[in-house]
């Protein structure tokens, strides 16, 4: 019988560190928070902390990766990628992002690490898109390599979201979600080989 105790212990330790980070960042803000304070709050030693995270930035990125999955930023089905309708999860995410003041305050609190963290989060978003593409489409179906397509999708998503939040254009969360999803869908459709697109049309007509 396989012993799952190490995995359960790993999950408990990781959760304790993440919970401590979330609690303390609300009190102290990101820039003023130290690894020592997180470790003390989580009741773990520094050695244990570094076994799971290299620094506090990695915890923040981990939380974003979890959010990408929970909110289904990238579709997890072929139909989802080719559908003109945005998922309710994307609309909900944009509704939360509409609190522009809070978004700017969060970036300000990141201090000198803001550029590094934005880069790490963007890389995590690219990995998220690539994994969903890999699950839904084979390499033979796409005439644009998945890594390139994933970077294009992530870049479009990030740029559109940042523009909408920072510049306050006159689009509702529902409208913006629809435009973003339409752009992403058109990119995937254009990346599909002609034969694959014909197969998709046949499947929909059956």
pLDDT in tens, the chain (206 residues): 445 555 888 889 999 999 999 999 888 888 889 999 999 999 999 999 999 999 999 999 999 999 888 888 899 999 999 888 888 888 888 887 776 545 554 555 677 888 888 899 999 999 999 999 999 999 999 999 999 999 999 999 999 988 888 776 789 999 999 999 999 999 999 999 764 544 454 455 55
Q: Are residues 2 and 90 in the same domain?
A: no
**Dist. CA 175–CA 180, nearest whole Å:** 9
Q: Are residues 122 and 81 in the same domain?
A: yes
Q: Are residues 49 and 60 in the same domain?
A: no
Q: Are residues 108 and 169 in the same domain?
A: yes
Q: Are residues 106 and 153 in the same domain?
A: yes
Q: Are residues 79 and 13 in the same domain?
A: no
Residue 168's region, left for phi above 0, alpha for psi from -120 to 50, else beta, is: left
Q: Are residues 37 and 61 in the same domain?
A: no
Q: Are residues 96 and 160 in the same domain?
A: yes
Q: Are residues 81 and 174 in the same domain?
A: yes
Q: Between the CA of residue 90 and those of 67, 74, 176, what are the distances in Å?
A: 11, 9, 10
**Structural domain for 45, as ranges:** 1-53
Contacts of 136 (CB under 8 A, 6+ apart): 75, 76, 77, 78, 80, 81
Q: Are residues 180 and 110 in the same domain?
A: yes
> What's the pLDDT at 62?
93
CATH code, 10: 1.10.10.60
**Dist. CA 184–CA 202, nearest whole Å:** 22
Average pLDDT, the chain: 84
Structural domain total, the chain: 2
């Amino acid at each position: 019988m396989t012993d799952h105790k190490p995995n359960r212990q790993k999950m408990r330790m990781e959760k304790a560190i993440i919970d401590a980070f979330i609690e303390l960042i609300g009190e102290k803000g990101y820039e003023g928070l130290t690894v020592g304070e997180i470790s003390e709050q989580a009741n773990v030693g520094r050695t244990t902390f570094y076994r799971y995270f290299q620094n506090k930035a990695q915890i923040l990125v981990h939380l974003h990766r979890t959010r990408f999955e929970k909110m289904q930023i990238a579709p997890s089905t072929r139909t989802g990628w080719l559908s003109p309708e945005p998922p309710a999860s994307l609309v909900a995410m944009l509704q939360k992002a509409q609190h522009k003041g809070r978004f700017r305050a969060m970036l300000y609190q990141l201090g000198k690490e803001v550029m590094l963290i934005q880069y790490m989060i963007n890389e995590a978003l690219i990995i998220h898109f690539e994994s969903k593409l890999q699950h839904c489409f084979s390499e033979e179906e796409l005439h644009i390599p998945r890594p390139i397509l994933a970077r294009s999708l992530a870049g479009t998503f990030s740029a559109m979201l940042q523009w909408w939040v920072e510049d306050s254009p006159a689009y509702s969360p529902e409208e913006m979600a629809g435009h973003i999803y339409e752009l992403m869908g058109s990119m995937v459709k254009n990346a599909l080989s002609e034969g694959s697109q014909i197969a998709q049309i046949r499947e929909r007509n059956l």
